[in-house]
Amino acid sequence: MLEGASDLYSIGVKKIMNCWILFALSTITLWVVSLWRVLISSSSIPTEPPFLSNLNSSRSGRRKRNVLLLIAHPDDESMFFAPTILYLFSKGHNIHILCISKGDAEGKGNVRIEEIYRASAVLKVPRQQIKIIDHPELQDGFDKPWKPHLVAAFAEEEIEKHGIDTVITFDSYGVSGHPNHQDVHRGLCALVLGNTQKNIEAWELMSTNIIRKYLGPVDAWISSLCSVTGPSGSSYCIQNAHPLKCYQAMAEHYSQWVWFRKLFVLLSRYTYVNTLQKISSTKT
């Protein structure tokens, strides 16, 4: 009887092990196939109308845009927006970065300024097209809220200075839920609401639930489907054919390059895909 029970136990263990092996192999296969799909497709979905199209331009129907990426801290550009930056560069658009703080929460602000310059060089953004704000009311910290009108004022200054026609930032949740990420979103919304001429396009990087956030390239399937099923021209899935660039750029942020951020860059969907949604004045 004991031998029979032992045999049943062994069979049960083997079945469980086989299930885990099958699950692991299926997961690895899905990850590899998804990564391959992202690597061979440096594009935005849907393809029509194309992302940042302009019907009032020349014969081709497209023109070079002046894009402002509005972020809260040095490293946001590498951790969250790398697919968008690399896509815009590949299409010949001009990219400017406005970083609302120097990330001085741990007293490393001056170090982090140099880090964002080096990281942005990896992402093909020239040093002269990056501006970092160091304002007493715009300091890095979970307990340091920023006034939207102040963020909007700095953004508007950059827009006028460089002829910006497109601004991209976080959505209302801010991907990680950091209050400063949410504040730059509120600042851009305040700017859009006050822009009576309606000559600025504003886009937000969509946040996802915790499961999708760490699906890596697998989330490209879900993001693509969501983009094609929504209203035309209101949402785009930007795929990153060079995810290693994201890793290399983030590695330039030496002061932040700790083990859990290395895991984040490897596993996060934001290394492989960005979903951008248009911000309208009625939404704000």
pLDDT tens digits, 220-235 = 988 888 887 777 678 8
Residues 73/43, Cβ–Cβ less than 8 Å = no
pTM (predicted TM-score): 0.88
Domain assignment of residue 3, yes or no: no
**How many domains does the chain divide into?**
1
Does residue 160 lie in a domain region?
yes
Domain-embedded: residue 246: yes
CATH number at residue 175: 3.40.50.10320
User: Where would I find the H helices in 195-242?
Assistant: 210-213, 219-229
> Residue 282's pLDDT is what?
59
pLDDT beneath 70, residues of the chain: 1-9, 42, 53-62, 195-198, 232, 281-284
**Do the domain assignments include residue 30?**
no
Q: Does residue 116 lie within any of the structural domains?
A: yes
Cβ atoms of 51 and 276 closer than 8 Å: yes
Find, among 96, 200, 188, the residue nearest to 150 by Cα.
188
Measured distance CA(183)–CA(19) in Å, rounded:
46
pLDDT score recorded for residue 197: 55
Establish if 128 belongs to a structural domain: yes
Q: What angle do CA 110, 70, 66 make, to 5 degrees?
A: 115
Please give the single-letter amino acid code of residue 257: W
Confirm if 273 and 226 have CB atoms less than 8 A apart: no
**What's residue 198's pLDDT?**
59
Helix (H) or strand (E) holding 107: none
Inside any domain, residue 20: no
Q: What is the identity of the amino acid at 231? A: P
**Residue length of the chain:** 284
Structural domain boundaries, residue 200 = 41-48+64-279
Of the candidates 264, 237, 265, 251, the one whose C-alpha atom is nearest the C-alpha of residue 38 is: 237
